[in-house]
Structure 1
C-alpha cells in the first residue's frame, strides 16, 4: 500500500506541475530543459523517497519503480488530452530514464543516511518539499532563454521506370490518395495526418499549390522556381491558427514557434538507361533548447513523409 501511495503522490505532483507549466505559459515553458530533464528526475526522486527503504533494496529497483509513475502520468494525460501521442512517443525515452536516475539518487541518499523503516514513518518531509519547488524556480528563470532556432534539411531520392513527362504530371497535381496507397507506418503511428490530395492552379513561378491532409491540415505552397520536367521549388506557409488541436500537439504545431516547414524542392533527372531519378528536399525549422534531440525526431519523421510521397509518385507514374 505504501508503494501505491508513493506512486499516487508522485503522479499528482507530476500532473500539477504539467498543469502549472500550461497555465503559466510564457513564464514556464513546457519545451524547456527544466520540463524535459529536471521534472522527471524529481518525479523519480519523489517516488522512491516516499517508498519505505525495505521495499527498494537495489539500484535497479530504484531505477525501474519510477517508470510506473511515468506510465500512469502518460495514461492520464492521454485520456484527458493534456498531451498528444506524438509528444509522449518522443519524450518518454528521456522522461523515464531521468525519472529512474532520480530514483537511484533517492535510494543512494537514503542508504547513505541509513534511514530505517521506523525513521521513514517519523521522518519529516521538509527535504522532499524543498526539492519539489526546484523545477518551478528554475523554470521561471529559464523561460525561453535556452531556446535557439535551427534550419534542417532532409533529402530523399528514388529511381523510376517512367518518362519525365509521366512523372511530372503526377508530381505537380496529386489526385485523391486512397488509404491503401498510404504505406507510411512511422508517420501514421506518430499521429501525422494522412495526405489526401494536392492541387496546383498554374504550373509557373507564382503558381499556388495546396496540399490537403486529414483533419483540415493544409499547406499553402507558392512556386518560387520552375523548370518543366526538371525543377520546382515551393515556398510553404501554414497558418497555425487554422490547425485544430486534434491535428497535432500544441508543442509541435506546424507553423508555431517550435516547428515550421519552410520549403520543398523537386528535382527530376532523366537517366541514360531510360529511367528517371526524382529527388525531393524539404527544409524545416525547429526552435527548442534541445535541437539535437528534436532534430533526430524531425529528420526521422520528415524522411518517412518524403519517402512515402516519392513512392506514391513512382507507383502512379509507372502504372501509366
Structure 2
C-alpha cells in the first residue's frame, strides 16, 4: 500500500507541475530542458524518496521504479487530455530515463544517510519546496532561450512502372484519391490522420493544391515552379489555427512553434523500359532545445509519410 501511495503522490506531483507549465504557457515552455529533463528527475526522486526502503534495495530498482510512476503519469495526462498520444510516445523514453536518474540520486542520498537501517527517509519541507519551486523558477528563467531552429530535408524515392508523362499527369491531376494506408506504418501507429484526397485548382505557378486528411486536417500548397515531366516544387502553407485541436498535439503542430514543413520537391527521372524514378524531398524545420532527439523522430515520421505519398502515386500511375 505504501508503494502505491508513493507512486500515486509522485505522479500527482508531475501532473501539477505539468498543469502549472501549461497555465504559464508563453512564460514557461513544455518543450524545454527544464520540463523534459529536470521535472522527470524530480518525479523519480520523489518516487524513491517516498517508497519504503525495503521496496528499493538496489540502484537498478531505484532506476526502474520511477518508470512505473512515469507510466501512471502518462495514463493520467492522456485520460485528462492534457497531452496527446504522439507527443507522449516520443517523449516517454527520455522522461522515464531521467526519472530513473532522479530515483538513483534519491537512493544514493538515502543509502548514505541510513546505512544499516531499513527505515525510509521522509521528505522534508526543504525537499518539497525545492521539488515544487525549482522547476518553476528554472522554467521561467529558461523560457524560449534554449530553442534552436534547425532546417532539415528528408528524401525518399520509388521506381514507377510508367513513363514520366504518365506520372506527371497523376502528379498534376485536379483531384486524386489516396489508396488505403498501411495500418502498420509508423504514422498510423501514432494516430497521424490518413491522407484522403488532393485537389488542385489550376496548374500554374501560384496555383493552389490542398491535401485533405482525416479528422478535418488539411494542408495548402502553392505551385512555386515546375518543369513539365521533370520537376514540381510546392511551397507548403500550414495554418495551425485551422487544425482541429483533437487532431495534433500542440507541441508537434505542423506550422506551429516547434515544427513546420516548408517545401516539397518532386523530381522525375526517365529509366529504361518506360519506367520512372520518382524522387520526393521535403524541407522542414524543427525548433527545440534537443534537436538531436527530435531529429530522430522527425526523420522516421516524415520518411513514413513521404513513402505513403509516393506509394499512392505509384499505384495510380501504374494503373494507367
Cα distance in 1, alignment partners of residues 246 and 189 from structure 2: 15
Cα distance in 2, alignment partners of residues 291 and 58 from structure 1: 34
Per-residue deviation, 1:172: 2.1
Per-residue deviation, 1:318: 1.1
Counterparts in 2 of 1:87-98, with a 5 A limit? Answer: 87-98=87-98
Which residue in the other structure is 2:222 paired with?
Answer: 222
- Please give the secondary structure, in 2, of the residue aligned with 1:261: strand
Cα distance in 2, alignment partners of residues 170 and 9 from structure 1: 57
Cα distance in 2, alignment partners of residues 105 and 118 from structure 1: 17
Native 8 Å contact 1:21 1:29 kept in 2: yes
Cα distance in 1, alignment partners of residues 119 and 112 from structure 2: 16
Native 8 Å contact 1:220 1:236 kept in 2: yes
Alignment of 1:297 onto 2:307: no
Alignment of 1:242 onto 2:236: no
Alignment RMSD (CA, Å): 1.5
Per-residue deviation, 1:127: 3.9
- Please give the secondary structure, in 2, of the residue aligned with 1:302: helix
Counterparts in 2 of 1:187-206, with a 5 A limit? Answer: 187-206=187-206
Alignment of 1:72 onto 2:72: yes
Native 8 Å contact 1:226 1:233 kept in 2: yes
Which residue in the other structure is 1:254 paired with?
Answer: 254
Q: Residues 14 and 183 of structure 1: is their aligned pair in 2 closer, same or farther, counting only changes over 3 Å?
A: closer
Instruction: Write out per-residue CA displacement over residues 80-113 of structure 1, whole angstroms, 9 at most, x where no aligned residue.
Output: 1110010011000111111111111111111011
Cα distance in 1, alignment partners of residues 299 and 10 from structure 2: 34
Which residue in the other structure is 2:31 paired with?
Answer: 31
Per-residue deviation, 1:24: 0.5
Which residue in the other structure is 1:316 paired with?
Answer: 316
Cα distance in 1, alignment partners of residues 125 and 32 from structure 2: 27
Cα distance in 1, alignment partners of residues 231 and 34 from structure 2: 44
Q: Which structure 2 residue ranges, 5 or more long, are not aligned? A: none
Q: Residues 311 and 183 of structure 1: is their aligned pair in 2 closer, same or farther, counting only changes over 3 Å?
A: farther
Per-residue deviation, 1:51: 1.0
Native 8 Å contact 2:167 2:317 kept in 1: yes
Per-residue deviation, 1:191: 1.8
Q: Residues 74 and 273 of structure 1: is their aligned pair in 2 closer, same or farther, counting only changes over 3 Å?
A: same
Cα distance in 1, alignment partners of residues 54 and 274 from structure 2: 73
- Please give the secondary structure, in 2, of the residue aligned with 1:257: coil
Native 8 Å contact 2:258 2:287 kept in 1: yes
Native 8 Å contact 1:230 1:269 kept in 2: yes
Per-residue deviation, 1:125: 1.4
Q: Which structure 1 residue ranges, 5 or more long, are not aligned? A: none
- Please give the secondary structure, in 1, of the residue aligned with 2:98: helix
Native 8 Å contact 2:52 2:119 kept in 1: no
Native 8 Å contact 2:30 2:36 kept in 1: yes
What is the number of equivalent residue pairs in this alignment? 317
- Please give the secondary structure, in 1, of the residue aligned with 2:27: coil
Moved more, 180-189 or 217-226: 180-189
Cα distance in 1, alignment partners of residues 123 and 91 from structure 2: 33
